[in-house]
Amino acid sequence: MSRPVIGLSTYVEPARWGAWEVPAALLHEWYVDAVREAGGRAVLLPPDSTDADVLDRLDGLILIGGADVDPAHYGAEPHATVDVPRVERDAGELLLCRAAHERDLPLLGICRGMQVMAIAHGGSLIQDLPDAGFGLAHRERPGTFTEHAVSLAEGSRVAAIYRSTRIVTNSSHHQGIADPGTLVPTGWAEDGLIEVLEAPEARFSLGVQWHPEHPDRRFGELPLFRAVVAAASD
């Protein structure tokens, strides 16, 4: 039996290897490793806002972390801390997210990916958590992780995956969900920030604000990747 094919969105950023220093479509190999360990076959999806036909060849989709989504996509002016927009990536991922929902294609959003899900479903973001008065340190500085507890809703898909209503997660983000749109929050940090979103009517559509792909957390987080791969196998 062939492995389910899971598409992974990518960054497009300056990169250097060998004799080359050029813009590259890339992502942490952590994501690929997690999909492989969960029994899936990872395929990288560079930004492309032309159409979402690639989804017809995939069994599931993961929207990965990365730079802030342009606030113009939810009708807001940018806060001073917002990253320079990744125009093509924003457009491509929003297109894929909406098309995955229409197809009922299994979807997992990670950090930025969950935020893309909220925006695609009519929601909006908190552009800077410290400025908005959230008490926890969700990120001390870019490229680092903090840890904090997350409470999961009884009866939610995410609680079933982790077999618990309270877990400890790793965190590295300065934005968060202000309005989930038509998605349902099913996880919260101790300061009230939404940490999980679900579309209960979907075959599998779930976003998490933390970084389950990190190799240091692989044992505890592998059930999440196994869940999306299992949904993609149906």
CATH number (domain holding residue 91): 3.40.50.880
Confidence band for 136, pLDDT divided at 50, 70 and 90: confident
**60-63 and 176-179 beta bridge pairing:** unpaired
Share of the chain above pLDDT 70, in %: 100
> With 80 as the cut, is the pLDDT of residue 194 above it?
yes
CA nearest neighbour of 50 among 92, 10, 8? 92
Query: What pLDDT score does 141 carry?
Result: 84
Mean per-residue pLDDT over the chain, rounded: 96
In SS3 terms, the chain reads as CCCCEEEEECEEEEEEECCEEEEEEECCHHHHHHHHHCCCEEEEECCCCCCCHHHHHCCEEEECCCCCCCHHHHCCCCCCCCCCCCHHHHHHHHHHHHHHHHHCCCEEEECHHHHHHHHHCCCEEECCHHHHCCCCCCCCCCCCCEEEEEEECCCCHHHHHHCCCEEEEEECCCCEEEECCCCEEEEEECCCCEEEEECCCCCCEEEECCCCCCHHHHHHHHHHHHHHHHHHHC
Confidence band for 140, pLDDT divided at 50, 70 and 90: confident
> With 80 as the cut, is the pLDDT of residue 196 above it?
yes
Q: Say what the pTM is.
A: 0.97
Q: Using one digit for the tens of pLDDT, what is the confidence trace for 12-58?
A: 999 999 999 999 999 999 999 999 999 999 999 999 999 999 999 99
* Residue found under tokens 């590295």: 172
Say how far apart CA 136 and CA 3 lie, in whole Å: 40
Confidence band for 143, pLDDT divided at 50, 70 and 90: confident
Say how far apart CA 63 and CA 115 lie, in whole Å: 10
Task: Give phi and psi for 188, each to the nearest 5.
Answer: -145, 140
> With 90 as the cut, is the pLDDT of residue 142 above it?
no
Neighbours of 122 (CB within 10 A): 12
More confident residue, 208 or 234: 208
Start-to-end C-alpha separation, the chain: 12
Q: Using one digit for the tens of pLDDT, what is the confidence trace for 69-117?
A: 999 999 999 999 999 999 999 999 999 999 999 999 999 999 999 999 9
CA nearest neighbour of 206 among 193, 214, 197, 215? 197
Catalytic residues: 111, 211, 213
Domains held by the chain: number: 1
Instruction: Determine the structural domain holding residue 130 and report its residue range.
Output: 5-233
Query: What pLDDT score does 1 carry?
Result: 67
